[in-house]
Amino acid sequence: MNTLQPEQEHLRDFSFDAHIFKEGDAYVAHAPALDVSSCGATDEEARRNIRDAARGFLAASADLGTLDEILREAGYRREGDEWLAPEFVSIDRLTVSLIEILND
């Protein structure tokens, strides 16, 4: 098990939003701010898998030295020793007409 160095202690907990939806027989989990997806046979498995996928993505980004840049681009902001997640204003389901698009 990896141990955090003192300068990494603020990275112990990292929050992100995940959208979980059903696609056929599978449950798909997507973390929009990180643009990371995973899936599972159940809702709970998809939740576990998205945590693992996010953890792997963040670890790889840290190894490459791009973690700060990626988090800032994803809308996270650093406040002291903490990364604060972007705050959603709303989540809407919108509709557009395909008739105009298909008739062009």
Residue-wise pLDDT for 71-86, tens only, equals 999 999 988 878 888 8
Confidence of residue 11 (pLDDT cuts 50, 70, 90): low
Whole-angstrom Cα Rg for the chain:
17
The model's pTM: 0.76
CA distance 44 to 50: 10
% of the chain with per-residue pLDDT over 70: 88
Q: pLDDT for 28-41, tens place per residue?
A: 999 999 999 999 99
DSSP structural state of residue 32: T
Mean pLDDT (the chain, rounded): 87
CA distance 11 to 4: 8
* Alpha helical stretches, state H, 37-85: 43-64, 67-73
* 49 Cβ neighbours under 8 A, 6+ residues apart: 29, 38, 39, 40
Residue 53 CA, chain-centre distance (Å), reads 9
Confidence of residue 8 (pLDDT cuts 50, 70, 90): low
Strands (E), 1-104: 19-23, 26-31, 36-40, 77-79, 82-84
